[in-house]
């Protein structure tokens, strides 16, 4: 049975072959326009946010952060992108699939949090986005629920010390390799570095099995992101 209000989430990373940059300038300009139009068509049907990773990571150039209740739209628009002139030079080294869900853990600072507020993604538009897949150990899930809540309360309270950072947690149990995909938005990169370092010292950290690869993404228009590629 479908759960009303939940949406599918996709972090689609693209890498473009260097051979595309050796094409004539007029061909590249036409290809970029076609690809950008295809992204805009996708944005007419679902949430699409664009980020550049050119010069940040060597294995990816572009992130499209997508969200929709209809998973078929991911297939439809990915196919359109890959069949554009520029898309024919593209691969997807990473693509993480997840779903929104209300957290089972309570924020100790919130007494009357509105129900269902985490079911819909609401990106803030901050400059930087940090994305990574996340897997916890089996021992974590075998802890009593009360103990997990206690540990998470400390984890959550530490996060509140960094108000410049917005966390978007989505869930991948059974639908992708990871258990969660976390996406942190901020305008202050140093705050995120300090937060992650501080989280290493929390009890919850010892139950982390995997939290890589980590992607540092810069918000961009699709046109500017494609210009950076070539």
The whole-angstrom separation of Cα 198 and Cα 193 is 9
Same domain, 190 and 221: no
Report which of 67, 70, 69, 90 is spatially closest to residue 18, judged by C-alpha positions: 90
Residue 184's CB: how many other CB atoms inside 10 A?
A: 21
Domain that holds residue 225: 8-99+217-229
Same domain, 93 and 138: no
Q: What is the DSSP letter of 166?
A: E
Same domain, 204 and 157: yes
What is the bridge-based pairing of β-strands 90-99 and 128-136? unpaired
Residue 150 domain flag: yes
pLDDT tens by residue, 132-149: 999 999 999 999 999 999
The whole-angstrom separation of Cα 225 and Cα 86 is 13
**What's the residue count for the chain?**
230
Same domain, 190 and 225: no
pLDDT tens by residue, 105-124: 999 888 765 555 678 889 99
Average of per-residue pLDDT values in the chain: 95
Report which of 19, 167, 15 is spatially closest to residue 94, judged by C-alpha positions: 15
Residue 19 domain flag: yes
Half-sphere exposure (Cβ direction) of 117: Cα atoms closer than 13 Å: 5
Residue 120 domain flag: no
The whole-angstrom separation of Cα 123 and Cα 47 is 10
Residue 141 domain flag: yes
Please tell me the predicted confidence (pLDDT) of residue 119: 83
Same domain, 179 and 196: yes
Please tell me the predicted confidence (pLDDT) of residue 118: 73
Residue 109 domain flag: no
What phi and psi, each to the nearest 5 degrees, are found at residue 48? Answer: -135, 125
Please tell me the predicted confidence (pLDDT) of residue 3: 58
- Structurally, the chain folds into a number of domains equal to 2
Please tell me the predicted confidence (pLDDT) of residue 5: 85
pLDDT tens by residue, 152-199: 999 999 999 999 999 999 999 999 999 999 999 999 999 999 999 999
Asked if 220 and 47 count as a contact pair (C-beta separation under 8 A), the reply is no
Residue 142 domain flag: yes
CATH number at residue 52: 3.30.70.1030
Same domain, 94 and 139: no
Residue 181 domain flag: yes
Same domain, 83 and 152: no
Find where tokens 């992708």 sit. 176
Report which of 183, 11, 14 is spatially closest to residue 93, judged by C-alpha positions: 14
pLDDT tens by residue, 196-217: 999 999 999 999 999 999 999 9
Residues 6 or more apart in contact with residue 126 via CB below 8 angstroms: 166, 185, 186, 187, 219
């Amino acid at each position: 049975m479908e759960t009303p209000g939940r949406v599918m989430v996709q972090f689609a990373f693209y890498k473009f072959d260097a051979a595309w940059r050796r094409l004539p300038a007029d061909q590249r300009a036409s290809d970029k326009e076609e690809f950008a139009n295809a992204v805009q068509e996708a944005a007419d049907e679902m949430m699409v946010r664009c980020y550049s990773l050119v010069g940040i990571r060597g294995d990816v150039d572009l992130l499209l952060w997508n969200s929709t209740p209809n998973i078929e739209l991911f297939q439809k628009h990915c196919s359109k992108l890959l069949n554009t002139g520029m898309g024919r030079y593209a691969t997807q080294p990473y693509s993480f699939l997840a779903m929104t869900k209300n957290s089972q853990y309570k924020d100790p600072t919130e007494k009357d949090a509105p129900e269902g507020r985490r079911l819909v993604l609401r990106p803030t538009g901050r400059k930087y986005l940090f994305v990574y897949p996340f897997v916890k150990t089996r021992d974590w899930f075998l802890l009593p629920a009360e103990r997990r809540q206690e540990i998470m309360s400390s984890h959550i309270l530490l996060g509140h010390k960094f108000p410049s950072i917005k966390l978007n947690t989505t869930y991948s149990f059974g639908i992708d390799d990871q258990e969660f995909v976390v996406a942190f938005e901020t305008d202050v990169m140093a705050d995120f570095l300090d937060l992650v370092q501080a989280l290493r010292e929390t009890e919850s950290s010892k139950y982390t099995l995997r939290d890589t690869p980590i992607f540092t993404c810069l918000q961009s228009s699709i046109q500017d992101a494609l210009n950076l590629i070539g």
